[in-house]
Structure 1
Amino acid sequence: MGKQPNLYSFSSSDALAKNLRSYVISSQNDGLNRHDAFKIAVSGGSLPAVLAKALLTPGNGTPEDTVRFDKWEVFFADERAVPLDHADSNYKLLKSELLDKIPAELGQPIVHPIDVTYLDDVQELADQYEQELVKSFAAKDSVKLPIFDLLLLGCGPDGHTCSLFPNHSLLRESDAWVAPISDSPKPPAKRITLTLPLVTHGLKIAFVATGEGKKDVMKKIFDTEEGQGLPCGLVNEGGAEKVSWFTDVSATQGVGFPKRGSL
């Protein structure tokens, strides 16, 4: 058996937040040591609220517990083709849950929203966002894929992550860094998303999945062959030991895959 993802299951939201905080700050410090920046991609859904709980709690002042938002560069793992102040916007969600609440003394991250000039053309919207990655990471002719320090992802009840949906042709995309989708089975239909090869190329990849509503899909992803073909399962397969799942006992109820109680 090859190397496997890490499945952490916590008894409370406080324990999950505390461990997620340690994991994110460790990833941040690795990024600062590597290139004096922390390049992170985040999803929407319930993730921004969990992230805010983890990161906005005052630390103990040690480097191992200090969030350096002034060194963060934030991208979106996927985004909906809507204005930035729209209720469906992942940018708006992250802004209201986390960015607007960051204390001044922690600094402000560089944030890369979509260019709303191109909302009517999702291919161009994706191409423009890919150019944002090129500017930050490297020219596309010099690297095959950019390497994020961390990608923070969610898991849908159907096993989708980012805007990569089960049985969708986008799962086979191997050239683009950012791809458009105009037929999302979950509204809104028009979106852009990081592609599977880019996601699994990250140095660290973390999922946050909580609540009883996730237990069926979690059991499928971790315990069945069918689940390995779902987008979250494909990230597990491609990222292997680079992948860590932050879950609660409700979400992992009945899951046979070995679980850990702390980092």
Structure 2
Amino acid sequence: MAGIFKFASKDDLSEAVGDHVLRVTQEAAEKDKFLVALSGGSLPKLLAAGLLKHQDEIDFSKWHVFFADERHVPHDHEDSNMLACKNEFLAKIPGIKEDQVYGIDYSVPVEEAAQRYQVAIEAVTGVSAASGAPPPSFDLVLLGMGPDGHTCSLFPGHELLKETEHWVAPIKDSPKPPSERITLTYPVLNVAANVFFLAAGKSKEDVLPLTAGLTAEGLNELGEAALPAARVRPVSGKLAWFVDEEAAAKL
């Protein structure tokens, strides 16, 4: 079972996540690049205060920021995860270089946009999928979760849950609008060095026992019936859930 950290309020949750992000960056201080993947939804607001608190302590100049999933929309569209993250914290931290924040190419069809996003990851990491090498390991992946147990744009019962080859996949039939998106897949998520889930609010109380609270044995028993968020289990990395008391009511 993952490490679960419970907090009395969203503010306390955000502060704790910021502290943990600082620790992870300090542990990777000798690296030239620090690869981060961010989600959208409620995550940008939950994350913002904690990161801004440490903006003078974290070496953000090393950050290369990708998005764990992104909607196939312009960067200034209200549905853009990149826009949400920029508005909440990315644009407020001088150390984060704009050319090290990688947005989706929305000018091409979503299938090609996914391919180009994978190429961008390859260019930053120096790892080529065509070579047959394992996917690169992100230093930190920050994820949210919907009340249905979805994470990134990996939805319950969807065919993308079975994707094993592509690091970035397109989705054209998302059950949540907008329908066209790109998403990181399990082959990438499950080789990350650190994965932090942030979940707050009463809408998450029923699903947390089936995701954060699920043991490895329980996950194996459920198999393909397990919810998408439950299947994010880094092989050798660290998995942590940061939840408030409302979300954790049934844990």
TM-score normalised by the chain length of structure 1: 0.86
Residues 174-216 of structure 1, C-alpha deviations (whole Å, 9 max, x = no match) = 0001000001011111000000121011001010000111101
Question: How far 1:108 sits from its partner (Å)?
Answer: 3.3
2:175 maps to which of 174, 178, 185: 185
Paired residue secondary structure (2:147): coil
Paired residue secondary structure (2:206): helix
Q: How does 1:170-249 map to 2 (within 5 A)?
A: 170-221=160-211, 222=213, 229-236=226-233, 238-239=234-235, 242-249=238-245
Identity %: 42
Paired residue secondary structure (1:91): helix
Question: How far 1:97 sits from its partner (Å)?
Answer: 0.9
- Say whether 1:251 aligns with 2:247: yes
- Say whether 1:50 aligns with 2:46: yes
Using the alignment, how far apart are the partners of 1:46 and 1:175 within structure 2? 29
Residue matched to 1:131? 119
Q: Which moved more, 1:6-15 or 1:194-203?
A: 6-15
Question: How far 1:239 sits from its partner (Å)?
Answer: 4.8
Using the alignment, how far apart are the partners of 1:107 and 1:192 within structure 2? 23
The question of whether the paired residues in 1 share the 8 Å contact of 2:168 and 2:185 is answered with yes
Q: How does 1:4-153 map to 2 (within 5 A)?
A: 4-33=1-30, 35-57=31-53, 66-102=57-93, 104=94, 106-108=95-97, 110-118=100-108, 121-137=109-125, 138-140=127-129, 141=131, 143-153=133-143
Question: How far 1:226 sits from its partner (Å)?
Answer: 5.3
The question of whether the paired residues in 1 share the 8 Å contact of 2:63 and 2:96 is answered with no
Question: How far 1:229 sits from its partner (Å)?
Answer: 0.6
Question: How far 1:78 sits from its partner (Å)?
Answer: 0.4
Residues 201-249 of structure 1, C-alpha deviations (whole Å, 9 max, x = no match) = 100101000011110111232257659710011114x558711001111
What number of residue pairs does the alignment pair up? 241
Long gaps (5+) in structure 1: 256-263
The question of whether the paired residues in 2 share the 8 Å contact of 1:5 and 1:241 is answered with no
The question of whether the paired residues in 2 share the 8 Å contact of 1:82 and 1:88 is answered with yes
The question of whether the paired residues in 1 share the 8 Å contact of 2:22 and 2:54 is answered with no
Using the alignment, how far apart are the partners of 2:89 and 2:76 within structure 1? 15
Give the letter for the 2:250 counterpart. G
The alpha-carbon distance between structure 1 residues 239 and 161, as it changes in their structure 2 partners (threshold 3 A), is: farther
Root-mean-square deviation (CA), in Å? 2.0
The question of whether the paired residues in 1 share the 8 Å contact of 2:35 and 2:138 is answered with yes
The alpha-carbon distance between structure 1 residues 16 and 216, as it changes in their structure 2 partners (threshold 3 A), is: same
Long gaps (5+) in structure 2: none
Using the alignment, how far apart are the partners of 2:88 and 2:237 within structure 1? 30
Question: How far 1:49 sits from its partner (Å)?
Answer: 1.3
TM-score normalised by the chain length of structure 2: 0.89
The alpha-carbon distance between structure 1 residues 22 and 130, as it changes in their structure 2 partners (threshold 3 A), is: same
Residue matched to 1:259? none
Residues 102-148 of structure 1, C-alpha deviations (whole Å, 9 max, x = no match) = 2x3x4536101011221xx1111100000001101122216220110
Using the alignment, how far apart are the partners of 2:201 and 2:14 within structure 1? 14
